[in-house]
């Protein structure tokens, strides 16, 4: 039996409708409108596309979006000054600096400069540290979205063996930690892993986040596994595909995410969720709103 296709697009639509309702409730009761400041440096087409999608999603949810564009020649000092401005602006609840940045700018320094209370990307070391010890924090959006997708299947994560292929700071490491926090047993695989298939075939939940088109075929997957494909790769034909050979693996998995339309829509959705939560935190501190 072919796998059930898990539509991130459909789940994202449901969650965004809920977020929109909560944004409206917050604004009605407290006059606080959740606000996201986005800084875009340079003219990278992919970054411009991502930012445009984020702005559209904010607009649809009732979240105010502030976009500042700068040439790739901006200095690190100038960029940090703009971040400081938004850190100090009480009307701004989330700050996002679109990555990647030009080579002359230290990305880690930029991430660390954003207030942890407005770090809706979930990349600041303070939020990463809180995530590690399972304290409330802004969670990185793609891993957060992946966990929400798995939970939407109404399958217990506790006790499941999760194998994560990839160890990036943005996806691989944090998604493993989030699932560990849900009482899964987690194994990380990467470019130095020997006999990859022998490990991935043990997975109840297999997460592919390595950036190699169609790397994972049926020989890597246990019968009935849940397969989450985080990869977004463009073939020579221009068509997008994931890290998983979808057509082959769907015949062996119980659930599988497509590319596109899988994990991607959930990433922006969780960015909206984090921005809303930041605004709710402000309202709670002002004792003007009860979540």
Residue 166 counted as an annotated binding residue? yes
Residue 167 counted as an annotated binding residue? yes
Residue 8 counted as an annotated binding residue? no
Q: Which of 22, 118, 119, 121 is catalytic?
A: 121
H or E, element range at 97 = strand 94-97
What is the C-alpha separation between 39 and 83, in angstroms, rounded?
9
Strand 35-41, strand 94-97: pairing? parallel
- Indicate if 98 belongs to the active site: yes
Residue 129 counted as an annotated binding residue? no
- Indicate if 130 belongs to the active site: no
Tokens representing 207?
């997460």
CA 92 to chain centre: 20
Q: Which of 15, 22, 54, 173 is catalytic?
A: 54
- Indicate if 248 belongs to the active site: no
What is the C-alpha separation between 84 and 90, in angstroms, rounded?
12
What is the C-alpha separation between 126 and 115, in angstroms, rounded?
9
What is the C-alpha separation between 271 and 19, in angstroms, rounded?
11
Q: Which of 15, 22, 98, 119 is catalytic?
A: 98
Contact yes or no for 168/209 (Cβ under 8 A):
yes
Q: Which residues of 243-270 are buried (b: 16+ CB within 10 A; e: fewer)?
A: bbbbeebbebbbbbbbbebbbbbbbbbb
Binding site feature residues for NADP(+): 166-168, 232
Which residues belong to the active site? 54, 98, 121
């Amino acid at each position: 039996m072919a796998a059930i296709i898990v539509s991130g697009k459909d789940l994202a639509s449901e969650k965004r409708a809920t977020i929109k309702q909560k944004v409206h409730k917050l604004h009605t009761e407290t006059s606080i409108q959740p606000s996201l400041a986005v800084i875009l440096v340079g003219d990278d087409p992919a970054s411009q596309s991502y930012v445009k999608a984020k702005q559209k999603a904010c607009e649809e949810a009732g979240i105010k979006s502030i976009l500042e564009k700068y040439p790739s020649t901006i200095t690190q000092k100038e960029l940090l000054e703009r971040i400081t401005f938004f850190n100090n602006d009480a009307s701004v609840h989330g700050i996002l600096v679109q990555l990647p940045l030009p080579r002359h700018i230290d990305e880690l320094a930029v991430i660390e400069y954003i207030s942890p209370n407005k770090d809706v990307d979930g990349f600041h070391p303070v939020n990463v540290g809180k995530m590690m010890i399972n304290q409330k924090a802004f969670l990185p959006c793609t891993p957060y979205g992946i966990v929400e997708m798995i939970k939407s299947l109404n399958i217990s994560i506790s006790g499941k063996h999760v194998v994560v292929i990839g160890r990036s700071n943005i996806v691989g490491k944090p998604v493993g930690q989030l699932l560990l926090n849900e009482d899964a047993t987690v194994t990380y695989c990467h470019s130095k892993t020997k006999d990859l298939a022998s490990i991935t075939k043990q997975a109840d939940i297999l997460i592919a986040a390595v950036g190699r088109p169609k790397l994972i075929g049926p020989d890597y997957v246990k019968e009935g596994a849940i397969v989450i494909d985080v990869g977004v790769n463009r073939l020579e034909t221009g068509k997008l595909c994931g890290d998983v050979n979808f057509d082959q693996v769907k015949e062996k998995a119980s659930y599988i995410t497509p590319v596109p339309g899988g994990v991607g829509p959930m990433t922006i959705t969780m960015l909206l969720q984090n921005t809303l939560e930041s605004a709710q935190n402000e309202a709670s501190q002002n004792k003007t709103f009860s979540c």
